[in-house]
Amino acid sequence: MACHAVSDDRDELLFALLERLVASSRDGRMPDFAAVTHEHPDLETELRELWATAMIAEDFGSFTRSSGGPPEPEPGDDQHTSTRAAHAMPRRIGDFKLLEEIGRGGMGVVYRATQISLNRAVALKMILPGRLASATDLSRFQAEAEAAAKLKHPHVVSVYEVGELDGQPFFIMPLIEGTTLAKRLTDGPLPAREAAELLVPICRAVAAAHRHGILHRDLKPSNILIDREGQPYVTDFGLAKRLVGQVSNVPASKHVENVLHGEQLTQLTASGAVLGTPSYMAPEQAAGQRGEVGPASDVYSLGAILFAMLTGRPPFQAASPVDTILQVLEQDPIPPRVLNPDADPDLELIALKCLQKPSDLRYSTADALADDLQAFLAHEPISARSGHFSQILSRAFRETHHAVVLQNWGLLWMWHAAVIFAMSMLTNVLLLCDVKSRWVYPGLWVVLLGIWAACFWSLRRRAGPITFVERQIAHTWAGSMIASTGLYVVEWSLGLDVLSLSPVLGLISGMVFLVKAAILSGRFYIQAAAMFLIGVVMALMPLWRIPDLRIALFGVASGLSFFVPGWKYHRQRRESLMRHD
């Protein structure tokens, strides 16, 4: 009963804090997410997940309210909803005559229109009629108009004119007759050459935007228009940001600022908010304020679009937006050829390079991605297949995207180092005292390690939800403890002297660190190599007529292997908490 009461109190507190953040957002104020997490650091992970879900739900709710289906008919109304909507459509806005609606989303609606004075067909976009536009809606709408107006590129849907009528802002664009890439993909994957030919001009357009200091941040198939001649165009800059510190090629700084300025626009990127489309957003974008969004984020989205072209589906998709975001943050994409055996191997490599979690492992620019696609079209070697030895080596020793969970383990690993060291020293003292009982050593390790494992797991659970990756590491660690104590049983069954198989402890520990290197950080290869070497040294010590300090040597090496990374990640966690203060 007490456990249920604690759980209920925790849930009530979580939802109270979430309601406080949501209320601030709806009132037009920027929620102070950092202050809330500082007050309740133990709830930070769960609160971030709930906040991300809430933000997506807000946008999704507005989308479904505006385009998810007809409203309920009112009593006595025998007209179809579509007829009412048609009559509600404005017929004339200034110099523009509206003909029909051709598309809409959560915020805006696009009409086919005629510019009367020039007698030309155009597309007119405005905030949904009848919608009570918030300051954030207006800022995003204006941001889209300003970003598109700055870009003059043959594959960017530009802006002819920006205006306002009766407080309703609108802007005029060229009318692209055709379809969208999203609609094309409903028929399944595209042929390899067609996919590459479509994506090259899109990459060039995005690169041009970056050179003008603008990030798109919402690249996806539905924002790629394809005209009747098969030419693609980038549209919808509603989430665009301006890069700070642009240079002639690509902005040097990854830090970005909003296209507009002022308090209202700050709400577009409020602390903890997640903007974009989950299936196509980069990990650093899905992580909210914790990630640095830059040109590499758009490169990731271009890779996700290429993935969809090759397979007919995005690299990540789940039952809910928050589950999709967790996939983006924690999982690697399935190779396209697993989903579509006919996918081209070179294009698969190009897509997977774009979809790397660390941003510096992707293409450095959208132009570099376009160059590789053009190399593929010209039947030339692609850069995604090449790599200098130094680059391969540096990638092997870098952290993976799972390494962030180690901040939850830093202090615990330091304690674990102390426990292993103390137990090894005690074991070696008993060995030097000529204690040969087969029951003393296994009893010591089984009991003490069991108690410590229970304490370790309990302390970790207090720090917040346990991730799937942490469970993998915990099972690997538990397996190593079982194997270590199982050596005593093997010795007994083979009639060997007690602790004669102790050098195997080094090999078992080396395997544990090898698994950690594969899942968490390549730097654990160093600990793995050290522990393998310690196992060999322990086996040779009796031949060298050195006093039997094998277990003490193991304790020192194993303790240091846990303490050094533990100290590093514990310090990172403290610095992270200080930044949130």
Active-site amino acid positions: 218
Q: Are 514 and 462 in contact (CB under 8 A)?
A: no
Residue 120 DSSP class: E
Q: Computed from CA positions of residues 15, 16, 17, 20, in that sequence, does the dihedral angle turn out positive or negative?
A: positive
Phi, psi of 109 (to 5 degrees): -130, 145
How many Cα neighbours within 13 Å face the side chain of 84?
11
- Pull the structure tokens for residue 433: 């005292």
- What are the residue ranges of helices labelled H in 151-191? 181-185
Q: From CA 282, how far away is CA 285, in angstroms rounded?
A: 5
Q: Are 385 and 372 in contact (CB under 8 A)?
A: no
- What are the residue ranges of helices labelled H in 378-409? 389-396
In 3D space, the residue among 174, 176, 233 whose CA is nearest the CA of residue 199 turns out to be 233
Q: Are 310 and 340 in contact (CB under 8 A)?
A: yes
- Pull the structure tokens for residue 264: 């209202």
In 3D space, the residue among 225, 232, 271, 260 whose CA is nearest the CA of residue 141 turns out to be 260
Q: How many helices (H) and strands (E) does the chain have?
A: 21, 12
Q: From CA 22, how far away is CA 59, in angstroms rounded?
A: 13
